[in-house]
Each structure stands twice: as structure tokens, then as C-alpha cells.
Amino acid sequence: MANDKRMDCVILGLLCHEPLTGYDIKKRIDGALSFFWNGSFGSIYPTLSKLTESGLVIKYEVNDGGRNRLLYSITDEGKKVLLEWLKEPVLKDELRYETLLKLFFGEELGMKGTLMHINRFEEKIKTNLSMLQMFEENLKLLQDEETHKYYLLTVMFGIETYKAYLKWCDNARKLLEVR
């Protein structure tokens, strides 16, 4: 059913804060959003066209010295649509960890292989955690803008979660190595 990644809502949400190009949107998605969302150019640009057609955003060309860029900004109608969606209850929170799938079948792989996956997972998480902690510090410095409070909420979520993952890594290793 329609619009699994809700690219339209993501774009409207981002444009609420400031006008952006498609390329900018991709950077935002790969940045602060990347811990809980993702999306590709192949869905960003077509969605921008659709949103322009239906009058939820306006496109205008700008030329600031460099090459021409297509900047998009949200309309009042767009804000209304965004708000409608924001008010609706969440439909789906989904976690899909291949790591856990492999661990679930760990008996076939054996202890050594399983430990390998746990260690690799731990490495990735440590990297992500320190990135999030940098985000967090930056956000705490920028307490002036109300928006940042909401960004901080999602960053805190990531930090809390990743810390729990690391704790689990320790416990998991202990459980496997016992006996």
C-alpha cells in the first residue's frame, strides 16, 4: 500500500525548516535522519515533481554565482498536509537486523562464527554511537532554536539504544563463552 517510505512527508518536513534542493534533501536524509530513515535520489526527485504538481511545494531556480539550482519551498497547503500526517498515529516502527537473523540460526554457524558477527556488530555500533554523541553536543550548543529540542529527542533515542546494544554485546559474549 501507498508510499512505504513516505518520501513526501519527509520532504515536506524538511522543507518546513528551510528551502532546499533535491541534493540537499539527500544530504539531510544521509545525515541526521540516517539512524532511523533512508531514501535515494531515485525517489527524491520524482517525489519533488509530484509535490510541485499538487501545489504542496513551489520550485524556483536560483543562481548564486555557481550553476543553477532548483530550490524547493513548502506552501501553506503543504504545511497543512504535513500537519495532518503528523497528527495521525504511527503505522509502523520496523527493525530489521540481519545480524539477529544470523544469530538466531547461530547453532548452524557455531560459536566462533557467531562471536565474529557480534564483534563486527559492536564495532559498527561504537562508530555510530560516537557520531551520535557528536551530534548531541552540537545540538546542546544550539539550544536557542526550538527545533533542536526535537532533533535532540531522536539523537537521544539513538544514543540510549546503542548503549543498550553494547551492553548486550557483552552479555551475549558471556553467554556464549560459558562452558
Partner DNA sequence: CTTACCATGTAAGGCGTTACATGATTCA
Partner DNA sequence: TGAATCATGTAACGCCTTACATGGTAAG
Q: Which is nearer to a copy of itself, 65 or 104 (CB)?
A: 104
User: What are residue 78's phi and psi, to 5 degrees?
Assistant: -60, -40
Q: Which is nearer to a copy of itself, 70 or 152 (CB)?
A: 152
Residue with cell 525517489: 43
User: Can you tell me whether residue 24 is helix, strand or coil?
Assistant: helix
Q: How far apart are CA 15 and CA 135, in angstroms?
A: 21
Segment 104-163, which members bind DNA (CB under 7 A)?
none
Nearest to 5 by CA among 58, 46, 49, 54: 46
Examine residue 121 and tell whether it contacts a copy of itself (CB under 8 A): yes
Examine residue 5 and tell whether it contacts DNA (CB under 7 A): yes
Q: How far apart are CA 29 and CA 78, in angstroms?
A: 19
How many C-beta atoms surround the C-beta of residue 21 within 10 A?
A: 16
- x/- letters, 82..101, toward a copy of itself (CB under 8 A): xx--xx-xxxxxxxxxxxxx
Q: What's at 169, amino acid-wise?
A: C
Examine residue 174 and tell whether it contacts a copy of itself (CB under 8 A): no
- x/- letters, 16..55, toward DNA (CB under 7 A): -----xxxx--x----------xxxxxx-xx-xx------
Examine residue 152 and tell whether it contacts a copy of itself (CB under 8 A): yes
Smallest gap from Cβ 108 to DNA, in A, equals: 21
Nearest to 132 by CA among 174, 168, 172, 166: 166
Examine residue 115 and tell whether it contacts a copy of itself (CB under 8 A): no
- The site for DNA (CB under 7 A) is made up of 1-7, 21-24, 27, 38-43, 45-46, 48-49, 65-67, 69-71
